[in-house]
Chains A and B, each alone.
Chain A
Amino acid sequence: MNPAQPSPKAGVKRDMEAVASLERDAELMLQVRDGDTASFGLLLERHRSPVVHFLYRMVQNQAVSEELAQEVFLRVYRSRATYEPTAKFTTWLFRIATHLALNWIRDGRKEKGQESLDENLIEGVERQVADRQPTIEQNLLYQVRLREVREAIEMLPAKQRAAVMMHKYEELEYSQIAKALNCSESAVKSLLFRAYESLRARLAHMA
């Protein structure tokens, strides 16, 4: 996320693109409601990665994140007949995803997948090696930093974790995060503030 304040023109352009994108999502979902399954494919293409990546960062297991993501899109497909664009499509999508992720975390199933967590880490490092040819020291440093970030995130309470994931990685607005978490916008700001404060304290030594 770019910490620098955007110029007014860039901000307006970004807002217009965001509005067009949101309208396109609603339009596609209405077409799915009318029986156009190709539109569902387009929605899947647009939102597959963000949903899977959000769930991956929540549950920290690739297989589980894809399973949960499939359940998200399955529920969207099941609801097609009664879909009404009363809220932003992405808000609805992430509300379902957050609900499933929080349930999974609550049920404490992450311990069962802990072994694959390490396998994914190793795969990630191998991809890094293929792409950038880093030195061994850089690889080790990357592994250590990555593990610390993941552990710091994992130590956050589930709702704080979800708020950070949606705010930092998916760049959702406070109102969208509030709807996904079924709380007020001021509660979202409070969640984010406490989460970032905890993360800053835990990861300060990495600066």
Chain B
Amino acid sequence: MECITRTKDGAEVLVEYCSGALNAARAAEIEKHIAACGACRTIVEAQRELWQALDGWTAPAVSEDFDARLYARIAREESAPSWKQWARRLLQPAIPVAIWKPAVSLAAVCAVLTVGLMVRTPDPSEQGSQTYIHEIHSEPVDIEQVANALDDLEMLTPGSAM
């Protein structure tokens, strides 16, 4: 078997092996290879030692009043005026805004294009319908304008960066 580290995704497979994420057949294959390959064995041993070091980092116990503080916050929110509750839901959604990005970006593009068409569309009564259709089809999309609109929208959207 060719050294795993020379294959595509090779070292990633070794990490998966160390974390027990491989099925039994694949794990057995890796074990057989490791027994014969010094380079891979070194990586596996180093990974296991790393995990031992990480195991030594225990997080402190959660404060005893954590739940009480949480319920107090919930109670305060529940008793807040309804407009405040709606504003909070709007500005602090449970699902991060990043998941809405494609829809937001698409909406922004549509909005910019619509505004662009409306602004540049001449008065049909003055120039005639043929000219009107010609201008719409020949109006180029200002890519920089679209990009700027998307940037502006992203700046306005809270917590959009991840």
A interface residues with partner B (beta carbon < 8 Å): 1-6, 8, 41, 44, 48-49, 52-53, 56-57, 62, 66, 69-70, 73-79, 92, 95-96, 98-99, 102-103, 106, 120, 123-124, 127, 142, 145-146, 149-150, 153, 159, 167-169, 174, 181-182, 189-190, 192-193, 196-197, 199-200, 203-204, 206-207
In the complex, what residues of B have CB within 8 A of residue A174's CB? 21
A48-B66, A103-B161 known; A196 vs B50 contact (CB < 8 Å): yes
* A57 in complex: contacting residue of B12, B24, B57, B161, CB < 8 Å: B57
Closest B residue to A162 using CB positions: B162
Say whether B60 contacts A103, CB under 8 Å: no
Say whether chain B's binding surface is mostly helix, strand, loop, or mixed.
helix
Chain B residues within 8 Å of A4, by CB: 20
Contact indicator A66/B46 (Cβ below 8 Å):
no
Q: When the two chains form their complex, are residues B20 and A1 in contact, meaning their CB atoms are under 8 A apart?
A: yes
The answer to the question of B118 belonging to the interface, with a C-beta cut-off of 8 Å to chain A, is no
List residues of chain B with CB within 8 A of the CB of A98. Answer: 162
Surface stretch bound by A, among B70-78, B106-114, B119-127, B135-143: B70-78
Interchain Cβ contacts under 8 Å between A and B, 5 examples? A6-B20, A127-B60, A168-B54, A189-B16, A192-B12
Q: Shortest CB–CB separation between residue A55 and chain B, in angstroms?
A: 9
**Minimal Cβ-Cβ distance residue in A for B158:** A103
